[in-house]
């Protein structure tokens, strides 16, 4: 089995409702995963993720629950050689009465 090639972003804690705003120079697969699914992804095993194929930037992914998160950016199946990327985190809006 060939080793998986990807770029990893990691956060010890993201709050539910935060939004990752991913800017890309070309199409890429974006996979937001909790630690368990990220470990399965690294091992080439079945895993669950939020995100998908990003064809246009910025691409937004909403964090479904609070906790640690990993974002993998890969080009699997795209036939591309590289893509520039950046990720910003927008905290959830808090309404005060």
Question: What's the whole-number mean pLDDT along residues 30-50?
Answer: 96
Query: Which candidate, 43, 34, 42, places its Cα nearest to that of 12?
Result: 34
Residue 93's pLDDT is: 78
Domain boundary assignment for the chain: 7-90
Question: What's the whole-number mean pLDDT along residues 69-96?
Answer: 87
Taking the model in full, what pTM does it have? 0.88
Query: Which candidate, 32, 88, 25, 86, places its Cα nearest to that of 56?
Result: 25
Tokens of 69: 């998160």
Mean of the per-residue pLDDT values of the chain = 91
Residue 4's pLDDT is: 65
């Amino acid at each position: 089995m060939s080793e998986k090639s990807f770029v990893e972003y990691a956060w010890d804690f993201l709050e539910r409702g935060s939004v990752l705003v991913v800017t890309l120079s070309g199409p890429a697969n974006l996979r937001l995963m909790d630690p368990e699914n990220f470990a399965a992804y690294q091992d080439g095993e079945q895993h669950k993720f939020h995100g998908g194929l990003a064809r246009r930037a910025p691409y937004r992914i909403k964090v479904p629950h609070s906790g640690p998160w990993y974002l993998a950016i890969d080009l699997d199946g795209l036939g591309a050689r590289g893509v520039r990327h950046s990720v910003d985190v927008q905290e959830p809006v808090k309404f005060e009465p």
